[in-house]
Amino acid sequence: MMEQVKFLIDLQDVMSQAKRLEEEKQRIPLEVSDLKSLFDEREASFLAANQEFEALRQLRREKEREIEEERDKVERAKAKLMSIKTNKEYYAMLKEIEGTRRSNTAREDELLSLLSKYEEAEKRLSERKAELDEVTGRYRERMVDVEARMGSFDENIGKILTRKRQVASKLEAGLVRRFEMIFERRDGLAIIAARNSSCTGCHMNISPQLFNLLQREDRIHACPNCSRILYYEPAEEKAAGE
C-alpha cells in the first residue's frame, strides 16, 4: 500500500505541474490584451475613415459625371444654333444654353466644396492607415512571440500529461477518479501528510484510531474533515537539549 501512496504523490506532482503550466498559458493572451484593444480601436477608426472617403469619392464621380454631361449638352445645343432658322427658336435655344450653364456653375461650386471635403477625408484616411499600420506591426510581432510560447506550453503540457497517464496506469481507475475529484476541489492537494495526529491539509485533529491505522500503511485512508487522502509522516524529532 505504501507503493500506492508513492504513486499518488507522484500523480499529484505531475498534475500540479500541468495545472501550473495551464494557468501560465492562460495568462499569456492577457499580456497582449491592451495592444489588441488598441489595434481594434485603430482598425475601427481606419474603417470609418475609409467608409467616409469612399462615400465622398462616389459623390465626386457622380458630380463630375453630371457636369460633363451638361457640358456635352451645351456643346450640342451650340452646334444646333447654326441650323435654326427662326429668331424665336434661336433665342429659345440661347436661353436653354444659358440655363444649363448656370446650372452647371452651381454644380461646379458644389464640386469644389466636395473636393475640399474629399481631400480632408483622404488626408484623414492616410493618417488612420499609418496609425493602424504601426499598431499592426507591433501586434503581429507580439502575436508571433505569443504563438511560439503557446506552442512551447502545449508541448510541455503534452509531455506532462503523458507522464500522468503512465503514473495513473499503476493505480486503480476508481482511485484515480476519486483522486482527481479531490485535486480539483482542494486546490491541487489531494494527498497530504498526517503528522502529530492532525491533517496537515486542513490542520484538524484526527482520531487516535485513524492515526494508528495510518501508521500501519496497509490501506488508503482519508481525512474525515477535508476528504484528502492521508499518509503517515513521522513528527520531526526535537533537537538535543531542547
- Looking at per-residue pLDDT, the higher value among 78 and 112 belongs to 112
> Is the pLDDT at 241 greater than 70, yes or no?
no
Residue 193 has a pLDDT of: 95
| Model confidence pLDDT, tens digit, residues 174-228 | 999 999 999 999 999 999 999 999 999 999 999 999 999 999 988 999 999 999 9
Q: What percent of the chain has pLDDT above 90? A: 60
Residue 1 has a pLDDT of: 58
The upper half-sphere exposure of residue 32, i.e. CA atoms within 13 Å in the direction of its Cβ, equals 20
Cα distances (angstroms) measured from residue 108 to each of 66, 186, 216:
10, 78, 102
| Model confidence pLDDT, tens digit, residues 79-108 | 777 777 788 887 787 888 788 888 888 888
Residue 69's H or E segment, with its range, is helix 33-81
**How, if at all, do strands 221-222 and 198-199 pair?**
unpaired
On whether the 32-168 domain is CATH 1.10.520.20, my answer is no
> Is the pLDDT at 238 greater than 70, yes or no?
no
Q: Where are the domains of the chain?
A: 2-10+172-232, 32-168
**What's the pTM value of the predicted model, to 2 decimals?**
0.60
SS3 of 48, please? Answer: helix
Q: How confident is the model at residue 237 (pLDDT cuts 50, 70, 90)?
A: very low
Chain mean pLDDT for the chain: 88
Grid cell at residue 140? 503581429
> Is the pLDDT at 239 greater than 60, yes or no?
no
